[in-house]
Structures are given as C-alpha cells and as structure tokens.
Amino acid sequence: MSASYAPTQAPARTPKGERTAERILDAAEELFAEHGYAGTTLRDVARRVGVRIPSLYNHFGSKEALYGAVLDRGIGPVLATLGEFVDSGSERYRDSALVVARVMEVLGRHPHLPRLVQHEILSGGQHLTPMLRDWIGPLFARAREILEAGPAARHWPADEIPHLVLAFYHVAVGYFTMAPLYGQLGGGDLLDREALARQTHFFTELVRRLLPED
Amino acid sequence: MSASYAPTQAPARTPKGERTAERILDAAEELFAEHGYAGTTLRDVARRVGVRIPSLYNHFGSKEALYGAVLDRGIGPVLATLGEFVDSGSERYRDSALVVARVMEVLGRHPHLPRLVQHEILSGGQHLTPMLRDWIGPLFARAREILEAGPAARHWPADEIPHLVLAFYHVAVGYFTMAPLYGQLGGGDLLDREALARQTHFFTELVRRLLPED
Amino acid sequence: MSASYAPTQAPARTPKGERTAERILDAAEELFAEHGYAGTTLRDVARRVGVRIPSLYNHFGSKEALYGAVLDRGIGPVLATLGEFVDSGSERYRDSALVVARVMEVLGRHPHLPRLVQHEILSGGQHLTPMLRDWIGPLFARAREILEAGPAARHWPADEIPHLVLAFYHVAVGYFTMAPLYGQLGGGDLLDREALARQTHFFTELVRRLLPED
Amino acid sequence: MSASYAPTQAPARTPKGERTAERILDAAEELFAEHGYAGTTLRDVARRVGVRIPSLYNHFGSKEALYGAVLDRGIGPVLATLGEFVDSGSERYRDSALVVARVMEVLGRHPHLPRLVQHEILSGGQHLTPMLRDWIGPLFARAREILEAGPAARHWPADEIPHLVLAFYHVAVGYFTMAPLYGQLGGGDLLDREALARQTHFFTELVRRLLPED
DNA sequence: GATGAATGAGGATTCATTCAT
DNA sequence: AATGAATGAATCCTCATTCAT
C-alpha cells in the first residue's frame, strides 16, 4: 500500500530550507506570543532557531512578513476549525458540549495562539493579517446569528447577544492567556491535562447554564 | 465659602511641576495601554505631553520607573476598590448585582487599565510591579474563598471554583480590552454609555445564572 | 563702528550646536563630493567630524536630509551668484570676460561643489534638492535667452544655442571635477593659484573666440 | 553558401554561458553608468539579467571584477578608436571635422560609457582599471603633443594647451553625461538622431573656431 | 551553469539615558 | 524644571560572498 511509502518519502518532501522556515515560524510564534510584536527581536528569533539573523531574511522578507506568516500559519487553521462549527450551525454541532470540547481541544493544541491574537486585539489589531480581519468579523457575526436563531433568544434580550458572544470568546481565550502568570503566581499549570479537562467541563457547564435547553 | 478658595488653592495643590508629572502619567498610561511596554517609546510619551524627552527624567527616573508609576497610580485604586468588595465579603456586598455594577463602574471610568494589565498578563507579568503581584494573588485567592464559602459551592464542584473566578475576571476585563478592535471592525463603540449599561446588565444576569441565589 | 563688535558677538551667535551642524555639513560636503551619495557612509562623516554617528541625528533627520542640506547650503549661493549675472544680463555683465572671471572665482572658492552637482547629474538628479531643480532649469533657460538675444545669434544657428550653453557649462564645471584625477595622474594641481589663473585666462579667450564681439 | 553556416555557427560562437556573461555585462554597464560603483548592487544586476545573485559568480569572480570587466569591454574599444586618431596624428585625421565626427559616432553608439568614466573621474579614479590608467594618461599626453605641434600652437599659449585638451574632452563627454537630466528637465532627448547630429555639427564648428586652419 | 541557504560585515536609524546649560 | 547635544547599545535590514546541491 502506498501508505507504507509515505515515511520514506517524507524527507524528500521537506528539504532543508523548508524545515528551517518551519523552525523559524515555530520560534517566532512562541516569542511573538510571549512578548508581542514590538517586544520580540529578530535576534531572539535567530538565537532560538540557532541561526544568524540574516538567514531569517532568506525565508521571510521582513519582521513584519514573518509576523504575518506566523499569524497566517497558526491562526488560519484554528479559525477554519472554529468556522466549521459556526457554519455547520444547528446541524452537526447542535450539541453545545461538543462545540466546547472541540474548541478547547483545538486551543489546547496550540496554546500560544490565543496569546498571539490577544496581543493584536490589545493594540487594536494594527498588524492583523488581512486573512484574520476577513475571518474574525464574519466569525463573530455568524456566532451571533446562530445564537439569535437558537435557544439564546429565549434567554437573553436581542441586543445583549453580542455581549454573550464576547463573553464566550473571553472565557475561552482568557483561560489560555492567563496560563503563564497563573503558574508563576503559584496557581498550578493551567495547561496540563487535568486542568484542561476541568476547564472543558467547567466551560461546558457554563454554557449549559447560560443557554439551557429547557 | 469654598468657592472662593478654589482658585487660590488649585495652583497651590497642583504646582506646575506636579501637573507635568500628572500629564506624563496620563500620556504614558494611554500609550502603555495601547502598545505595551516595549511598544511604547519615551519619544511618543514626550510628544504627547508636549515636552522634550529629557524632561521626563525630571519626574521619573527611568522608563521602567514611569511604567511602574503608571501601574501604581492607575491600578492601585482599582485593586483597592475591588479588594474592598472582596474583603467585606458576604456582608456589605452580598448582593452580586451590586458588585458587578461597582466593578463595571470602576473599570468604565478607567478604560485603559484593563488593557494595561492584560499586556502584563500576556507576557507573564515580568514587569508586574511588586505592589501588583502582592495584590493580584491574594485578590484571586480571596475571591475564591468567598465563592467557596458562598452559594457557588452548591452549584460548582470545589475544584472548578478557580475556573469560575477566572471566567468572571475575563468576562469583566475582556470586554474592555476588546473595545478598540470591536469598534474598528464596525461593531460600534463598546465604551459609550449605552453599551456599558448593557454590559452591566448582561454581566449581572450572567452572574445570577451562574450563581443562583435559590 | 559696529564692525568692531562683530568678533566679540560671533561666539554668542554661534552656540556649540550650530557649530557642530556646520562641521557636519563641511565633512559631508567633502565626502559626498568625493564618493557620491551611495558611496558616502554616515560613519565616514561622523569620523571626520570627530563625533559618534547618533549625534548626526541631533542635527539632521536622516542621511538624505543631510545630503539635501549640503546641496542647499553649498549650491544655493553659487547658483544665486550665477543667477545674478544671468539675470542682470546685458547690462552690468555685458563683458563676457567679467562673467568668466566671476564664475571661476566662485567655483574656485568652492571646489567640491561642481563634483557634488556632477554626481547628481550623472544619476539623473534623483536626489536633486527641489531648490536645485527650481534653479538649474531656469538658469539654463535664461542663459540661452541671453545668448539668443546677444552676439551668439550672429555666430551660431538658433537650434545650436542650447549646445553652446551646455558646452560652456561643461568647460567651466569639468575643469573642477577633473582636478583630483589630473593630479593623481601626474598632471599637477589644477586648483592651485597659477592653474586657476591660467584656466580663467583660457576660458575667457575661449568665450571670446566663440562669441566674438566683432 | 555562407548562409548555411550561420545557423550552425551562431550557437557555437555564443553558447548559452557566454551569452549570459554578455547579458550580465550589459546590465552592469547600464547600472554602473547610472548609479556608480557604490550605488549599484549585485542584486540589481541579477534582477535585470533575470538570474539569481550567485549565478553572477559563475561568470565574474567579484563585484569588483565585474566592474573591471565592464570598463574593459566598454572603454577599451573606445579608447582604442580614439587612440587611433591621436596616434595617426597629422596624417589620416588631419581634418578635425573627421575626428569630431568619429568621436561623436563612437560615443553615440555607447552612450553610457562617458557616464561610467565620469563616475570614476569624480571619485579620483580609485577603481580605474589599470588598462584605463595606462590609456588615459598617454591619450591626454599625445593629444597635447599633437595640438602643440599643430595649428593650436599658433592660437594658444603653450601652457594653456592642456586646458584646451581638457576643454575638448569635457565638451565631448559632458554632452552625454548630461543627457538623462536634460531630458528629465524637459529639454528633450539629447541622444536622439537629430540632437546628436546637431551636437556633431556644433562641436565641429567649435573646434574650427578654436583651431582655425588659417 | 544555476541556485537556495547561510553568514560576517556593515548600512541607516532608534532608543534610553546622561550631562551641561 | 526644561532642553540641546552626545552617546552606547541595539534595532531592522542589506550587501557581497561562499558553499553544497
């Protein structure tokens, strides 16, 4: 079967250069997530990759381009996944528990993305990649529509639905942004398996109480 | 009558120098809130104050000291106010609606503070002024105790109470951090009077549903 | 007489900073004249001034601004002087010998200016300061008018007058641009007193033969 | 018939590699002429050739070597042609009109060469290829001798003959260096057929008036 | 012969800070 | 208290060059 060839061919498909670009993105993602755009230095990125600064320019045209690539690579898939739920709406994902579980799973697998996005949001999204701008608006709009058409309408005044959307967003994302400080203040690691499971359960319960299914 | 004192006292209370320091703090607060520590330049601060850079050093010993002063001045009082609720606990502020209203009022009056703190939190609080470190930990701890001792205990598993505290925190603070981007994406101004009132109402309702008083 | 005060007041009028700016302009003028814009480094300028690179930025906003200032300061007066002749035309400066002598005197006092301008001309004048663009065009135009109205018209076809203007220009300016190489090839110093006097005489004679006064 | 050889020989004479080297020289010639040595980057050259930078090194050992090759290829033939006149002196090229026409023809066919050389001259000829140094000195010397031995001696003082040589040089070369700026200032294209013919005529006349044949 | 990747050296520029005035 | 000038350190970025492929 062809599947057995895959492992052998893989190295051929990822030449040295591509792998370096990937490693740069990895390093940059972590650093941008931790220190934001202004607080991250190409020197830091290069050091973490184990490469000299000018080499970065063989893969990305500028710091800004690197930042954009990080956002695109990291956030694109996440937004896509989230978009799936939102778009398939009342059909496959009618069960809010499923949605919450899926969201937590996706974010838990990419724990710096929320911080990355929060940095952007804090500064008004001046660097927000176009792709992100094109996604985040519609995503919020669609989430709102679904809530307006669903059970939320029976529990919340129409003009507070956007606030509900924002609240869900912040509960979901805030948990991850808080993780480093929380650990540093002695609160334990919010990103370990148990904590994540607890948060998933908690979040599910929270949604259930805010949007009871009668 | 006091009116007659005002003109005379005003200059005495706020001599030119003090007023400059204040203006520097104002400018710095906005800029740090928008761009974070690394993204804010003394040049930016000076320009906004209408003064040359070296003048800043007549009032604050360094960029870091200025940052600390901004955090202290801005966040100290807010934390104090919040601390009041938390500490007086089940007595004066038993009514959660009151707490929410008060929190929203305090944050609404200082809308960049949440962003200021979020920048810190995102980067693991490396600059967090000691005063802030000494406050934020206990604050969370106390909030947790209160919830554990209060009605929350009947509605949530004990080990999820911290998650509940975090959720409240993020709903409260996230609303303000989102304001600039939300407006920029065409969602309207989250900081105008109506929006704030709506959020207050929404937040109150949210708390009520998560912590029903039976 | 007030003239006696001048020496005393001069230091008061030229505070330290202004003098530094002047020294920067001097150094930059020489270097830009020798190596052109691209071939001149701020490091070179700073070294020649005896100052560190960032200090240059206390006086000029950028390399380009410095270059512009050099052109303005150096060439403005020269063009103004030349413009005087040209404009007063057939009146004061009817005598071409006078014009030649004056031009040679002005250029001889600022021997790098011709090279500075030639660098610009070679690259199509991409950096030509606006002031220069506004001068050089009209200057050529006016020179052409004068020649067309004067004796040249009797000696040259109308459509070759522009070529005559260019020829005069190149004879005048080329002499100075050639000086460094000429000396280096063992031809003697074109800028010493005798050589300049010889060139003045030669140039005068050249003009006389090309524009005989009958 | 010779036609039958052509198709076969053409590829042999200009194999792909040689043609690339030629194209590199073409691109470099233009760029060095416009921006000088320091102002020209290998990146620019490569882009104009449609090749990546390292490929340039398959044909020329360094930027400096490329520059030398450009000078050699471009200026060598021109100097050779001029040298012919100069050397054959009073015999074949006694007629100054012929000399002027030939010079204008040669320079008109290689209009960036004058600019290339002027860049060198402006910076004191630091890069002047040895071949160029070996040519330009003797060329000037020989031209001077010829003039000293010819009719010029009757019209000019002996010690001004070098000035006359320089003047001829600058009239000839300056016309071409001025072309881009002249066009840009709205003066028309100095390099089109009519303008060149006019300049040739003008130059001839200029020489005739400075060196009348009695 | 062509090129992707890597890099030492150096380019202009900014930043926080100091000091004399 | 305010500022012009100066500067060490660090910023992003470019350049010419090399080397393995």
B166 lies in some domain: yes
Mean pLDDT of the region D5-12: 45
Q: Minimal CA–CA distance to D203: which of C170, A142, C45, C13?
A: C170
Instruction: Please indicate, yes or no, whether residues D104 and D162 belong to a single structural domain of this protein.
Output: yes
Residues B103 and B163 in one domain: yes
Q: Is residue B82 part of a domain?
A: yes
C40 touches strand E (CB under 7 A): yes
Do B53 and B93 fall into the same domain?
A: no
Are D5 and D22 a contacting pair, CB within 8 Å? no
Q: Are B117 and B76 in contact (CB under 8 A)?
A: no
Mark yes or no for CB contact D122/C125 under 8 Å.
no
Q: Do C152 and C161 contact (CB within 8 A), yes or no?
A: yes
Q: For position D90, what pLDDT does the model report? A: 54
C59 touches chain D (CB under 8 A): no
Average pLDDT over residues B171-196: 93
**Within a domain: D125:** yes
Is any atom of nucleic acid chain F found less than 7 Å from the CB of residue D199?
no
**Number of structural domains chain A divides into:** 1
- Partner D contacted by C180 (CB < 8 A): yes
- Is D66 inside a domain boundary? no
B120 and B178 assigned to the same domain = yes
Residue C144's CB is within 10 A of a number of other CB atoms, namely 18
Give yes or no: residues D45 and D117 share one domain: no
Helix (H) or strand (E) holding A49: helix A42-49
Residues of C in contact with D202 (CB under 8 A): 156, 160, 163-164, 167
D191 in reach of chain C (CB within 8 A): no
State percent of chain D over pLDDT 90.
57
Distances (CA, A) of D151 to A136, B3, C37, D168, D213: 86, 103, 43, 15, 7
CATH of the domain at D54: 1.10.10.60
Task: Say how far C53 CA is from F8 C1', in Å.
Answer: 11
* Residue D2 binned pLDDT confidence (cut-offs 50, 70, 90): very low
Q: How far apart are CA A92 and CA D190, in angstroms?
A: 75
CA of B57: nucleotide with nearest C1':
E17
Residue C125, phi-psi category: left (phi > 0), alpha (psi -120 to 50), beta (remainder): left
Which residues span the domain enclosing C138?
A: 2-210
Are D30 and D136 found together in one domain? no
Q: Does position A86 have pLDDT exceeding 80, yes or no? A: no
- Judge whether residue B50 contacts strand F, using its CB and a 7 Å cut-off: no
Query: Which among C95, C32, C35, C106 is positioned nearest to C64, based on CA atoms?
Result: C32
Residue C93: Cβ within 10 Å count? 17
Average pLDDT, chain D: 86
Q: The tokens of B77 are what?
A: 């009082």
Residue of D127 and B31 predicted with greater confidence: B31
**Which residues of chain C fall below pLDDT 70?**
1-17, 86-94, 214
pLDDT reported for residue A94: 64
The arithmetic mean of pLDDT across residues D111-138, rounded, is 86
pLDDT in tens, A88-100: 655 555 678 888 9
Q: Which residue places its CA closest to the C1' of nucleotide E15?
A: B41
Question: Is residue B171 a contact partner of residue B178, using CB atoms and an 8 Å limit?
Answer: no
Nearest CB to B39; choose among A118, A123, A166: A123
Which of D166, D176, D178, D210 would best serve as a mutation to test chain C binding (most C beta carbons within 10 A)?
D166
pLDDT of B88 above 80: no
User: Is residue B94 over pLDDT 70?
Assistant: no
What CATH number is associated with residue C56?
1.10.357.10
Query: What tens digit of pLDDT does each residue of B49-87 get?
Result: 999 999 999 999 999 999 999 998 988 888 888 777 766
Size of interface C-D (CB pairs under 8 A): 149
State the Cα–Cα distance between residues B50 and A104, nearest whole angstrom: 47
**What mean pLDDT is reported for chain B?**
86
Structure letter (DSSP) for residue B36? T
Pair (D26, D76) in one structural domain:
no
The answer to whether residue A6 scores a pLDDT higher than 80 is: no
| C-beta within 7 A of nucleic chain F, residues 36-55 of C | 51-55
Is D90 found in the same domain as D48?
no
Q: Which nucleotide is nearest to A54 (CA to C1')?
A: E7
Q: Indicate if D163 and D95 belong to the same structural domain.
A: yes
A163 CB within 8 Å of a chain B CB: yes
Extract the tokens encoding D47: 């882009």
Q: How far is CA D21 from the centre of its chain?
A: 20
Q: Please give the pLDDT value at position C136.
A: 85
* CATH number of the structural domain spanning residue D206: 1.10.357
> What pLDDT is recorded for position B79?
82
**Domain assignment of residue D39, yes or no:** yes
Position with higher pLDDT, B171 vs C4: B171
